[in-house]
């Protein structure tokens, strides 16, 4: 028995990190939005590590914030420790990472969602997508209610036919002991959406009072906390420490002795796991030459004794897990609060998505997050934001919002998965971007805030503040290029104290800052008229001056990239009609349906020779079209 539950513009299925961003974006853009979740207690839940950010991932969070998303603000309000990673390297790979109070993170995001205009949060299991004439028209839930919509976003995470593995124990479940979604997969396949099976895992949560931190190395946060959100001016808090310890040969021997009891190696787990976040069993097998692996103890919040044991993800039997953990220094008497486990789940083939994250098979149906074959909260949130924006764009019959590879890591992420596909859970890393010196986390607002403002997700007040910051950066760069430092004895003494060579003639302040050993703030003695600037302005000024030459080179590379991206391939082009293309290239081009020569060039199986053939064919089509138009005009 079914009944009409309500009529909506957009329905978002799943309220994890992807679904939260998708629903908020859709609602903030004026769409009447329904957000469905299996449990109100799982909104923005962190089923794995209690942190946001990290190498490459911190870039995504700052880009989400620059576009008007919520993740950056949420972690700023609920973090308990913050660190900037990779500070010994160049600014392109600096990445923020913050430990979160898991429950506080969930509760704040749920509160934001519940109080968002145009948005209703409802606990219901979506069991069926309703499609008519190849277009989404609604969603049916387990109670029999049908909710109609004009667009939908599926952000189901790891819940689709989720199955938990702990040794030889297997059972249907979502993450963290929540119910799985057992029906929606069949509905997707019924509508022509092919699925694949992936796997991820998580370590045990242990009782902190059973740990001996004196045998571990304390890991403190940074003295200066850099916020994720460009709207957060500063964060002042007492930070909670993490701790570092290591596995040892005894740990590894125990794993080897019990490997036949791991479902990863018995064949029970068929899903493909993440290469960049392997289980402890996989690490021991893969890196036989290593006699130890790092283990981090991370608190899960301020009001709980649960601690996350990063680096010891496992699906071994529980008795083996406990014995295994107790071989690690500081964990000799450890007690488990939650066991480690592996989880298998259904996800789609993301090559069946457009750059807007709309399905190529069902109009108005968008996908975001782990259902697209990615891993991580940050990757999920980034996709959810774009999917939510484009659901609204779809309803307004406006052009899809697409970030290309030269504009943001979000663009790299989406382009990678829809063009290359995924044969394992995709994780963002700075090495995936060919323009990473331009796509730094510190300049995400300069790159993307104007786009967020145009979309309507960045308020005029925030945009005005952004313009003020941008002007301050430009004015300071211009000013210090005109400040002359004279070769006085006093100035050379200062330079000598900075381990920098003396000057024999006048140089600009910019020239001094370009020296690797000199920072902007250290040039204050040479600059009596320096204005008082916000630290974020100073950061931009220094980076843009020090790396000016490299930045110019990357801008030239982007210019060449744009030329190929702007060579569009007509929609509906039958690649089989193009003489000279190899069979493999035809198959790949037909499957992906690239929108430009640039995208075609990144498809595995399409060679430079194939691209040349394709370019010639497109040029011939263009000339034939112009000739045909000319003949019509003559008539």
Question: Which of 550, 575, 590 is at the close of a domain?
Answer: 550
Please tell me whether residues 361 and 252 are part of one structural domain.
no
Please tell me whether residues 336 and 388 are part of one structural domain.
no
Please tell me whether residues 545 and 621 are part of one structural domain.
no
Residue 562 lies in a domain: no
Strand partners, 365: 152
Q: What is the pLDDT of residue 633?
A: 54
Range of the domain at 379: 3-200+344-455
Q: Which two tokens stand for residue 272?
A: 């493909």
Q: Are 53 and 378 in contact (CB under 8 A)?
A: yes
Quote the number of domains for the chain.
4
Domain of 480, CATH number, reads: 1.10.10.1800
Residue 534 lies in a domain: yes
Q: Please report, for residues 34, 599, 604, 608, 612, the alpha-carbon distance to residue 615 in angstroms, rounded to integers and kept in the order given.
A: 45, 13, 18, 10, 5
Let me know if 426 is exposed, middle or buried by CB neighbors in 10 A (0-12, 13-18, 19+).
buried
Let me know if 182 is exposed, middle or buried by CB neighbors in 10 A (0-12, 13-18, 19+).
middle
Question: Which of 550, 575, 603 is at the close of a domain?
Answer: 550
Q: What is the pLDDT of residue 315?
A: 93
Residues of the chain with pLDDT under 50: none
d(CA 50, CA 80): 10
Please tell me whether residues 69 and 143 are part of one structural domain.
yes
Residue 559 lies in a domain: no
d(CA 136, CA 227): 39
d(CA 180, CA 161): 6
Q: Which two tokens stand for residue 102?
A: 């898991």
pLDDT tens, position by position, 309-350? 999 999 999 999 999 999 999 999 999 999 999 999 999 999
Length of the chain counted residue by residue:
635
Please tell me whether residues 109 and 95 are part of one structural domain.
yes
Q: Are 570 and 619 in contact (CB under 8 A)?
A: no
| Torsion sign, CA atoms 442, 51, 90, 524 | positive
Please tell me whether residues 209 and 186 are part of one structural domain.
no
Helix crossing, 377-395 with 71-78: angle to 10°?
140
Element holding 501 (H helix, E strand): none
Q: What is the pLDDT of residue 128?
A: 98
Please tell me whether residues 292 and 255 are part of one structural domain.
yes
Say what the pTM is: 0.95
Give residues with Cβ within 8 angstroms of 557, minimum separation 6.
434, 435
At which residue do the structure tokens 């009944």 appear? Answer: 3
Please tell me whether residues 65 and 89 are part of one structural domain.
yes
Strand partners, 163: 172, 344
d(CA 364, CA 395): 8
Residue 463 lies in a domain: no
d(CA 606, CA 27): 40
Please tell me whether residues 280 and 305 are part of one structural domain.
yes
Domain of 310, CATH number, reads: 2.40.30.260
Please tell me whether residues 441 and 479 are part of one structural domain.
no
Q: What is the pLDDT of residue 277?
A: 77
Element holding 378 (H helix, E strand): helix 377-395
Question: Which of 312, 342, 372 is at the close of a domain?
Answer: 342
Please tell me whether residues 46 and 130 are part of one structural domain.
yes
Q: What is the pLDDT of residue 621?
A: 84
Please tell me whether residues 380 and 326 are part of one structural domain.
no
Q: What is the pLDDT of residue 624?
A: 79
Domain of 589, CATH number, reads: 1.10.150.570
Residue 558 lies in a domain: no
Q: Are 550 and 90 in contact (CB under 8 A)?
A: no
Residue 248 lies in a domain: yes
H-type alpha helices, 213-293: 249-257, 263-266, 280-286
Residue 461 lies in a domain: no
Residue 132 lies in a domain: yes
Q: What is the pLDDT of residue 629?
A: 58
Q: What is the pLDDT of residue 526?
A: 94
Q: Please report, for residues 196, 482, 487, the alpha-carbon distance to residue 490 in angstroms, rounded to integers and kept in the order given.
A: 69, 20, 8
Q: What is the pLDDT of residue 10?
A: 98
Strand partners, 564: none
Residue 249: CB atoms within 10 A of its CB come to: 10
d(CA 473, CA 62): 19
């Amino acid at each position: 028995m079914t009944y009409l539950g309500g009529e909506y513009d957009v329905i978002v299925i799943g309220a994890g990190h992807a679904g939260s961003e998708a629903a908020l974006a859709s609602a903030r853009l004026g769409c009447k939005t329904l957000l469905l979740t299996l449990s109100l207690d799982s909104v923005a839940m962190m089923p794995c590590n209690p942190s946001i950010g990290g190498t490459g991932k911190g870039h995504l969070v700052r880009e989400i914030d620059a576009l008007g998303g919520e993740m950056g603000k949420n972690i700023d309000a609920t973090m308990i420790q913050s660190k900037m990673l990779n500070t010994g390297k160049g600014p392109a790979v600096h990445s923020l990472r913050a430990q979160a109070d898991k429950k506080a993170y969930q509760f704040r995001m749920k509160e934001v969602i519940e109080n968002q205009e145009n948005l209703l949060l409802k606990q219901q299991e979506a069991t069926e997508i309703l499609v008519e004439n190849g277009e989404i028209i609604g969603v049916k839930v387990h109670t029999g209610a049908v909710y109609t919509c004009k667009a939908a976003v599926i952000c189901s995470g790891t819940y689709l036919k989720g199955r938990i593995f702990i040794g030889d124990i297997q059972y249907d479940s979502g993450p963290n002991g929540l119910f799985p979604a057992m029906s929606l997969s069949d509905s997707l396949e019924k509508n022509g959406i092919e699925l694949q099976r992936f796997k991820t895992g998580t370590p045990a949560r242990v009782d902190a009072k059973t740990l001996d931190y004196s045998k571990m190395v304390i890991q403190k946060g940074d003295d200066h906390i850099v916020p994720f959100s460009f709207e957060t001016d500063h964060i002042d808090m007492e930070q909670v420490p993490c701790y570092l310890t290591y596995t040892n040969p005894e740990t590894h021997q125990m794993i080897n002795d019990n490997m036949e009891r791991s479902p990863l190696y018995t064949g029970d787990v068929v899903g493909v796991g993440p290469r960049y976040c392997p289980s402890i069993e996989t690490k021991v097998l893969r890196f036989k030459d290593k006699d130890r692996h790092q283990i981090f103890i991370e608190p899960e919040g301020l009001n709980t004794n649960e601690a996350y044991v990063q680096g010891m993800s496992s699906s071994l039997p529980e008795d083996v897990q406990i014995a295994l953990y107790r071989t690690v220094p500081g964990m000799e008497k450890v007690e488990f609060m939650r066991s480690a486990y592996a989880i298998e789940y259904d996800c789609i083939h993301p090559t069946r998505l457009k750059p807007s994250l709309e399905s190529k098979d069902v109009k108005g149906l968008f996908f975001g997050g782990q259902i697209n074959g990615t891993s991580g909260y940050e990757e999920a949130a980034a996709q959810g934001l774009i999917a939510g924006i484009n659901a609204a764009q779809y309803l307004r019959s406006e052009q899809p919002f697409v970030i290309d590879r030269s504009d943001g890591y979000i663009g790299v992420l989406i382009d990678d998965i829809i063009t290359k596909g995924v044969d394992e859970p995709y994780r963002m890393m700075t090495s995936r971007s060919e323009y990473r010196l331009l796509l730094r986390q510190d300049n995400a607002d300069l790159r993307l805030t104007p786009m967020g403002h145009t979309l309507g997700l960045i308020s005029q007040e925030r945009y005005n503040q952004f313009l003020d910051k941008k002007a301050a950066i430009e004015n300071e760069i211009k000013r210090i290029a005109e400040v002359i430092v004279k070769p006085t004895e006093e100035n050379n003494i200062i330079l000598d104290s900075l381990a920098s060579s003396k000057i024999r003639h006048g140089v600009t302040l910019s020239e001094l800052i370009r020296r690797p050993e000199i920072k902007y703030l250290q040039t204050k003695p040479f600059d009596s008229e320096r204005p008082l600037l916000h630290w974020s302005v100073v950061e931009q000024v220094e980076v843009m001056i020090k790396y000016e030459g490299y930045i110019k080179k990357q801008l030239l590379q982007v210019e060449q990239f744009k030329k190929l991206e702007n060579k569009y391939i007509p929609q509906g082009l039958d690649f089989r009609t193009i003489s000279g293309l190899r069979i493999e290239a035809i198959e790949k081009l037909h499957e992906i349906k690239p929108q430009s020569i640039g995208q075609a060039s990144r498809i595995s199986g399409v060679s430079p020779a194939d691209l040349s053939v394709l370019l010639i064919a497109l040029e011939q089509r263009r000339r034939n079209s112009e000739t045909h138009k000319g003949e019509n005009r003559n008539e």
